[in-house]
Structure 1
Amino acid sequence: MSVTLPLGETEISVSLPDCDVTVAEPPGGEAVDVRDAAERTAADPYGPELARLADPDDIVTIVVTDVTRATPDDVLVDVLLSELERAGVPREQVTVLVGLGLHRPMTDAEIEAGLGEHADLAINHDPDQTVRVGSVDDCPVEVHERVADADLVVSTGMVEPHQYAGFSGGAKTVAIGAGSESLIRYTHGPEMLANDGVRLGRVADNPFREAVDRAGDEIGLDFCLNVTHGPSGFLGASAGDPRSVVQELATVGREALSVPVSGSYDAVIAGVGAPKDANLYQTTRAATYVVLGDRNPLREGGRVVIPAELPEGAGEGAGERRFYDWLSDAESAAALYEAMRPGYEPGAQRAFVVARALRDHDVYVTDSEHPDVVEECLMHARESVEDAVDPGSDVLVVPDALNTLLVHGED
């Protein structure tokens, strides 16, 4: 049987004639036109329209996602600017802040590709240029000065499955993307991530999600415009109150992305593709989504196989470098997990979660430009997917692993 998987911006064909292969294809949902959907929801949001919230003399900051999210920010920012123009806010009073968190800065070319004609309004977030605006559970909430000083704070976002927040988007774009290390340290620390409620695909009663939402309240996020997507494309848009936006789009996403799984498998082949397979930090989401999601489909000793280009190696941001340092210095996954239990620097949480998954299952990364980095990080590098799967294996293929929720089926 031959299957097609993403690799960077292209695709590869994988043939496993000696294996019993099952493909996990989510329902996918029905695609919508992003601009039409964004304009409709901006005109009928949760709460007041943006044009009614804004005054002509307002200084406005719009926080957008970075290159690690496939958010159509050019369209969403265009819709938001039209709403602000309707309120009489001049374009020169608007800053577009790229919410990097601890990821690397976006290049000028990436900003132009992501924001189109509005790229001239954009600046990269710098976590060293933050000021305190409040606290959550005694943790300081600090945000970029352009956000803190704004009269009106707006954000875009992608509501997609997230290992910790359940689904991303909403206040997370601002609280994490435009915040400092303090909130990232708190929300991504071992105590938070060990909580049973902190789980892929779960929004309700999720302490991580609740902390991020409360941080958004402290920051004063006034309005957000988010989308969700699936295999068929963008599935919907929602605007206004951040909590309501996430709840609506998470429901849409969950219905479109859930696949019931029965039985156990020797290997799960997990597709990633661009932009997430640019580095190992982002690529390992596929492994942890499989192993630490609602339903781990691997039998004891089973492995995850991920084709990924990795042009950036482990990754170039502060968080990515910390991820690499922890993994590359470790003797084993079990030893690393125990060493990180007392705490770690913001950004290193991905190493902690990867170590948690690697205690039970091997991870193979194929087709990469940096196999040496893969091997240094307690994982295995192979030239092809076929090289990473033993003949005669029962294999589950998840072509879009970051947008598929594996849930319990009938055994």
Structure 2
Amino acid sequence: MEIPLGTDAIDVSLPHCDVTVAEPAGGATVDVRAAAERALEEPIGPPLEARVDPADEVTIVVTDITRKAPDDVLLDVLLERLADRGVDRDQVTVVIGLGLHRPMTDDEIEAMLGPHADLAVNHDPESVVDVGAVGPDDDVPVEIGRPVAEADAVLSTGVVEPHQYAGFSGGAKTVVVGAGSESIIRYTHGPEMLAREGVRLGRVADNPFRETIDRAGDLAGLDFSINLSYGPSGVLGVRAGESRGVVRELAAVARDALSVPIDRTFDAVVCGVGAPKDANLYQATRGATYVALGDRNPLRESGRLVVPAALPEGAGDGTGERRFYRRLSETADAETLYAAMREGYEPGAQRAFVVARVLRDHDLYVTNSGAPGVVEECLMHAESDVSDALEAGSEVLVVPDALNTLLVDGGGRSQG
């Protein structure tokens, strides 16, 4: 069978194991441009023309290189629509929503946005404007990048895909986290929030994380979103309009396409990731945590997780990635790290907290990487190949696309 690795795939043969493959049913794919144009014609809520005036300075927040999104196509369609509204190209700024990831290079921006690369700037988390506050006591400042906060109209692109905390990504998250400061990331990604009921993979309704992000999006002035969702064979749908409705509709589309019922347990799970998420260890570990902390953990007690990942960037170069590496590499064991991080941690380090939570119960093997030393330093095991990470006779579940597969209990579905 083939498992993604970087932009390619590896052939995995496990003749000495009992193998089950978890592949979502998927769904009919769409042409992105045609679907985006249709979404703008049939928006959720008021149309784009009602949100933008011809004289407006417009900021469009797009996803960064860690997301697999045809932002060039979505941006092209948005710019054409804005031009029809009378908004000139020189009135538009495109902000790349980095969060605490590293800035994108000029070459990467050019490859991602094509002819619109000249409009783009990397988000600067040090140059932000306070636009309000969230939290139970309204004591968490919402600080948004200056090009967003000072715009007359704010638009966003994004991908509505399974997300460990938000249930599904997309919508206001692209703006609030991607173009925000450490304050909102510290609150939404802190141990108190992540421990709350409803903060879970695949859940949008009654999810405190999602609700906080949406409220912060209102304060940030997000006017209009155009998002898409993926299935195993490509883009399943595009929606545009009011961000909450966009996420809600695309999450339902994705959930139907990506759910796989699981009615037994396994000795090991092989979690496929591939590019762009396997560029560094910070992102690649999502494959393991999405499986172990999802709706249905398919592992037996002490079962192991196996993630093939290229890791050309090692642990990762951004602020969050460096904090993730430091936390894991400077701690003796997962139990100690988890207990210490329950008391709090710096923004970006939440991935270390979630990984430590998984490592308390399961060993994690990262295979086929170019950075085995980094893997070993981070409380994980490095092997040269998937087969080397599995014991003969193991019952193994292979999830070729772990980031876009929702393992659910029995014949049921994850909650909406």
Category of TM-score, reference length = shorter chain:
over 0.9
Match of 1:47 among 35, 45, 49: 45
Quote the residue 2:129 is aligned against. Answer: 131
Match of 2:28 in 1: 30
Instruction: Give matches, 1:205-224, under 5 Å.
Output: 205-224=206-225
Q: How does 1:344-355 map to 2 (within 5 A)?
A: 344-355=345-356
1:52-63 pair list within 5 angstroms: 52-63=50-61
Which residue number in structure 2 is paired with residue 183 of structure 1?
184
Q: Deviations over 1:98-157 (max 9, x none)?
A: 000000001111111111110000000010010100111120000000001100000000
Q: Give the aligned partner of residue 265 of structure 1.
A: 266
1:201 maps to: 202
The whole-number CA distance in structure 1 between the counterparts of 2:52 and 2:19 is 55
**Does residue 117 of structure 1 match 2:115?**
yes
Q: Are the counterparts in 2 of residues 52 and 87 from structure 1 also a CA contact under 8 Å?
A: no
Equivalent residues of 1:326, 1:351 under 8 A apart? yes
Equivalent-residue separation in structure 2 for 1:342 and 1:86 (angstroms): 52
Q: 1:15 is paired with a residue of what secondary structure?
A: coil
The Cα shift of 1:83 comes to 1.2
* 15, 40, 59: which one aligns with 2:13: 15
Aligned residues: CA RMSD: 0.8
Secondary structure of residue in 2 paired with 1:222: strand
Counterpart-to-counterpart distance in 2, 1:196 and 1:280: 28
Partner of 1:284: 285
2:84 corresponds to which of 69, 86, 109 = 86
What residue identity is the alignment partner of 1:99? G
Task: Check conservation: 1:144, 1:179, Cα contact below 8 A.
Answer: yes
1:146 corresponds to 2:151: no
Tell me whether 1:302 sits opposite 2:303 in the alignment: yes
Q: Equivalent residue of 1:354, what SS?
A: helix
The residue identity in structure 1 corresponding to 2:129 is V
Cα distance in 1, alignment partners of residues 105 and 375 from structure 2: 25
Please state whether the residue corresponding to 2:222 is helix, strand or coil. coil
Cα distance in 1 for residues equivalent to 2:323 and 2:119: 31
Matching residue of 1:70? 68
Post-superposition CA distance 1:329-349 (Å, at most 9, x none) = 011000000010110000000
Shift of 1:196: 2.2
Shift of 1:56: 1.5
Aligned to 1:384: 385
SS in 2 for 1:301: strand
Q: What is the TM-score when the length of structure 2 is the normalising length?
A: 0.98
| Secondary structure, aligned partner of 1:58 | coil
CA distance in 2, matches of 1:294, 1:219: 31
Kept in 2, the 8 Å contact 1:184–1:346? The answer is yes
What displacement does 1:279 show?
0.2
CA contact (8 A) 1:19 1:394 kept: yes
Distance 2:175 2:112 in 1: 18
The alpha-carbon deviation at position 52 of structure 1 amounts to 2.9
Any residues of structure 2 matched to 1:346-385 within 5 Å, and which? 346-385=347-386
Q: Deviations over 1:234-289 (max 9, x none)?
A: 00000000000000000000000000011110000010000000000000001101
Deviations 1:32-67 (A, max 9, x none): 000000000011101222123211110000000000
1:340-386: CA deviation from partner (whole Å, max 9, x where unpaired): 01100000000000000000000000000000000000000000000
Q: Secondary structure at the match of 2:396?
A: strand
Give the residue type in structure 2 aligned to 1:177. G
Equivalences, count = 409
Q: Paired residue for 1:107?
A: 105
Look up the SS of the partner of 1:243 in the other structure: helix
What is the CA deviation profile of residues 66-118 of structure 1, one whole-angstrom value per residue up to 9, with x for unaligned ones?
00001110000111111111110110010000000000001111111111110
User: Deviation digits for residues 273-308 of structure 1, max 9, x if unmatched?
Assistant: 000000000000011011100000000110000100
Aligned to 2:321: 320
Counterpart of 1:67 in structure 2: which amino acid?
Answer: I
Amino acid in structure 2 at the alignment position of 1:50 = L
Matching residue of 1:336 = 337
Aligned partners of 2:327 and 2:61: how far apart in 1?
30
Separation of aligned partners in 2, 1:142 and 1:212: 12
Amino acid at match of 2:29: A
Question: How far apart, in 2, do the equivalents of 1:410 and 1:168 lie?
Answer: 25
Displacement of 1:410: 5.7
Change (3 A) 1:79 1:156: same
* Aligned equivalents of 1:293, 1:157: Cα separation in 2: 22
Give, as a single letter, the amino acid of the residue that structure 1 aligns with 2:100: L
